[in-house]
Amino acid sequence: MKQSVKMIVGNWKMNGLTADLGEARALTESLSDAPASCRVALCPAATLVAQMAWALKGQGVEIGGQDCHAEPKGAFTGSISAAMLVDAGARLVILGHSERRQGLGETDSLVAAKFETAVAAGLEPIVCVGETLTQRETGQAVPLVTAQVLGSLPDAAASHAFAVAYEPVWAIGTGLTPTVAQIAEVHEAIRSALVQRLGPAGTRVPILYGGSVTPANAGEILQVAEVGGALVGGASLKAASFLAIVRAAEPARVAADAQG
Ligand code: PGA
């Protein structure tokens, strides 16, 4: 299924101080005259969610968190709850990023539990999946990613808005990207897994690609069948490069620019 509205989400990871909010403001200023042909979101560190949401209010850029706890509240020192993100102005939340699956041991079932808590609070999850280089080299990419999709979604997922992001671990922050054929193969497998898990609702879930997306490769990647957008790390930190990726997703805007 080709989707006309692409979702372009910036993941600032553990980067960004108050002084960097200027980059987010510069992004919205440049986007203000653009047609709404894509959804644009930024996911800053938890400390910046409220400030960014306030600074960008009403500017057409949605704000997301990078994680939330599986419990709605309680004695979990250092954690942030889904309701806290909503309270701070977030609408989205990234769940199950490989930097949390690998570094912090997050499992599919924990991601599914976080999904339930996030949607109960009113957040739209972006569930990340992706294989390591060894898994790809041993032919495990498709079965592994399929299992992650099936295991990371709760039974009730069909009744909620959410996205899946395919992020090969070996492509994140490395400058390496899969071929267009490899992206297409995995995105098709994810679509099948979504339909298997959710029925017809699975056809409507946006599937983003993430992992070394840049202004140079975004246009080609966003044309791939079943690629419904991009989850962008490093290139989202600067307004200029993130904007170039957003524009690669906006054919109407590109055509207007070309006409001067
Ligand atoms: P990258 O990160 O664009 O810096 O590779 C993507 C991500 O981890 O979401």
92-122 residue pLDDT tens: 999 999 999 999 999 999 999 999 999 999 9
Residue 247 counted as domain residue:
no
Q: What is the pTM of this model?
A: 0.95
pLDDT of residue 243: 94
User: Quick one: which atom of ligand 1 is closest to the CA of 128?
Assistant: 9
Instruction: Please tell me the residue having the least CA distance from ligand 1 atom 1.
Output: 233
User: Quick one: which atom of ligand 1 is closest to the CA of 234?
Assistant: 4
Measured in Å, residue 117 CA sits from the centre of ligand 1 at: 25
Query: Which residue in this structure is represented by tokens 């898990």?
Result: 197
**Residues taking part in catalysis:** 97, 167
Residue 177 counted as domain residue:
yes
Measured in Å, residue 188 CA sits from the centre of ligand 1 at: 21
Q: Is 167 in the pocket of ligand 1 (CB under 6 A)?
A: yes
Residue 15 counted as domain residue:
no
User: Quick one: which atom of ligand 1 is closest to the CA of 210?
Assistant: 6
Residue 252 counted as domain residue:
no
Dist CA 116 CA 53 (whole Å):
23
Residues in the chain: 260
Residue 157 counted as domain residue:
yes
What is the span of the domain harbouring residue 205? 44-55+62-68+78-233
pLDDT of residue 30: 85
The parts of the chain modelled with pLDDT lower than 70 are 1-3, 33-36, 251-260
Residue 131 counted as domain residue:
yes
Looking at residue 222, which CATH number applies to its domain? 3.20.20.70
Residue 152 counted as domain residue:
yes
Count of domains in the chain?
1
Residue 185 counted as domain residue:
yes
Q: Is 11 in the pocket of ligand 1 (CB under 6 A)?
A: yes
